[in-house]
Amino acid sequence: MPISSSSEPIRRRPSAWRRVSQAVVVLLAIAIAALAVLAWLGYRDDSSTGPREAVGDPAQQVAYGAYLAKVGDCMACHTAPGSKPYAGGAAIPTPFGTFYGPNITADAATGIGNWTADDFWRALHQGKGPSGTLLYPAFPYTEYTRITRADADALYAYLRSIPPVTQPSRPHELDFPYGWRPLLALWRGLYFKPGVHADARAAVPAFAAADAVVPDRPALIARGRYLVDGLGHCVACHAPRNALGATAQEAGLPGGDIAGLGWYAPALDGAARTGLGGWSEDDIVMLLKTGTGRHGAAAGPMAEVVVGSTQYLSDVDAQAIAAYLKTIPAPSTGDAPVVRAAGGMRRGAALYEQHCAQCHGAEGQGRGRDWPPLAGNIGVVAPYPGNAIQMVLAGGFAPATAANPQPHGMPPFGQVLSDDDVAAVVTYIRNSWGNAAGGVTSLQVKQARAVGG
């Protein structure tokens, strides 16, 4: 006797395992599609080749290219210590391994002697080699993409004028899996979009001339932004990076750790305590051109930038950079949060009086530009105390510039003071005379010693 008279088959509900499998397949398909889109975005070519402008005076173009090479501090990455200019080999340490600047002289075999002007433009504007090879963003094409075609051609003309040097570029030494270049396509898809600076007033070569006339205020600010955001690539140091090494352009210049070097690049925004809120345009120009100023002196990586780059800025370009930086507002959240010192102030005060006060003053006021002030010094009160720690440990000189050829130096105290001593004195200077930047631990000092060698 049949249990049911219905002729329709019994429908079974899909098992839980089958539903999970279907969901996994769908998610996998979405992930593959997303990766494909990112790869396409990373490999895509910008349709514009940047039409070349007619060159009236080739010698003038080469001279302007030489100036631009200094503005961009190209030699810092493309010239190893003791090597010939632009022959490559300079080490660039990063959390992903060590990059080495390539040979960019006109040597056909080992440099860029076989590159055309279009090839050079493609490298700056799109981050690609002549054959379409994706370049690592240790070469800051993420900022250089803003350079105009005329400026790229001037740089190219200058590099072609340098005597060729036969020296193979040193291979990068990268941790796994960062040495696999196809992964760059995904990174580029997420973080890179080509785009020349939109303001035509920003790239007038006459601004570099010693006798250039100061343009109107909007043009001056536009020029400053062009130099800061493009060839100067200031965001490379003065903004934080995420876990994949990318910076957010829209974040401004709030300051950031300089990975692998133990230094902190201070904020260049309008923050009153940790940024340029208390600086005038003349203060900024003085630091760029001389390496010293009313609020402190350039040290560490910034000292190298002053020596190799900013001291050579024309007066108008230095003024333009200062004018633009003063337009950057303070963050909406205000200054970096203050973490009060947890202790060590009495010990730090005694050490400061014994070792520091003679030069920097009892109130941290400094003396002229030979001994910079510590009170209100944005390098001292930065969120990360690495700058002050490194200076106490290793000492150093302000950059030697044409305007300040024999700067005074600070002796190293790393062999005199223990880690606890350094932590105490740096805690004291970060929390005295109106400074309020939190305490420093002996572990931080120990880590700074390791980074500094």
- Is 355 annotated to bind a ligand? Reply is no
pLDDT over 90 percentage in the chain: 70
**pLDDT tens digits for range 129-163:** 999 999 999 999 999 999 999 999 999 999 999 99
Of 1-15, 224-238, 312-326, 409-423, give the lowest mean pLDDT range.
1-15
What pLDDT is stored for residue 247 in this prediction? 87
At a CB cut-off of 8 Å and minimum separation 6, what does 409 contact? 395, 396, 397, 398
Residue with tokens 């300079």: 90
Does the pLDDT value for residue 335 go beyond 80? no
**pLDDT tens digits for range 84-97:** 999 999 999 999 99
- pTM, entire model: 0.89
What pLDDT is stored for residue 141 in this prediction? 95
- Is 197 annotated to bind a ligand? Reply is no
Band of the pLDDT at 1, cuts 50, 70, 90? very low
Of 48-57, 84-93, 296-305, 332-341, give the lowest mean pLDDT range.
332-341
Q: Which residue has the higher pLDDT, 250 or 395?
A: 395
pLDDT over 70 percentage in the chain: 87
Q: Which residue has the higher pLDDT, 434 or 337?
A: 434
Same fold, 217-326 and 345-452: yes
Does the pLDDT value for residue 360 go beyond 90? yes
Band of the pLDDT at 45, cuts 50, 70, 90? confident
DSSP code for 163: P
User: Mean of the per-residue pLDDT values for the chain?
Assistant: 88
- Bridge partners of 410, per DSSP, are 396
Length of the chain equals 453
Of 27-31, 155-159, 179-183, 394-398, give the lowest mean pLDDT range.
27-31
At a CB cut-off of 8 Å and minimum separation 6, what does 280 contact? none
- Is 408 annotated to bind a ligand? Reply is no
The order of strands in the sheet holding 173-174 is: 91-94, 97-100, 173-174
Q: What is the biggest distance separating any 2 CA atoms in the chain, rounded to whole angstroms?
A: 112
What pLDDT is stored for residue 340 in this prediction? 55
C-beta of residue 189 within 8 angstroms of C-beta of residue 183: no
**pLDDT tens digits for range 103-127:** 999 999 999 999 999 999 999 999 9
**pLDDT tens digits for range 199-235:** 766 766 666 776 677 888 999 999 999 999 999 999 9
C-beta of residue 185 within 8 angstroms of C-beta of residue 282: no
What pLDDT is stored for residue 197 in this prediction? 81
- CATH code for the domain defined by 345-452: 1.10.760.10
- Bridge partners of 292, per DSSP, are 297
What pLDDT is stored for residue 344 in this prediction? 66
- CATH code for the domain defined by 217-326: 1.10.760
- Is 172 annotated to bind a ligand? Reply is no
At a CB cut-off of 8 Å and minimum separation 6, what does 432 contact? 345, 349, 352, 364, 375
Task: Find the radius of gyration of the CA atoms of the chain.
Answer: 27
Does the pLDDT value for residue 322 go beyond 90? yes
Of 250-264, 296-310, 409-423, give the lowest mean pLDDT range.
250-264
The ranges assigned to domains in the chain are 58-191, 217-326, 345-452
What pLDDT is stored for residue 289 in this prediction? 97
C-beta of residue 428 within 8 angstroms of C-beta of residue 420: no
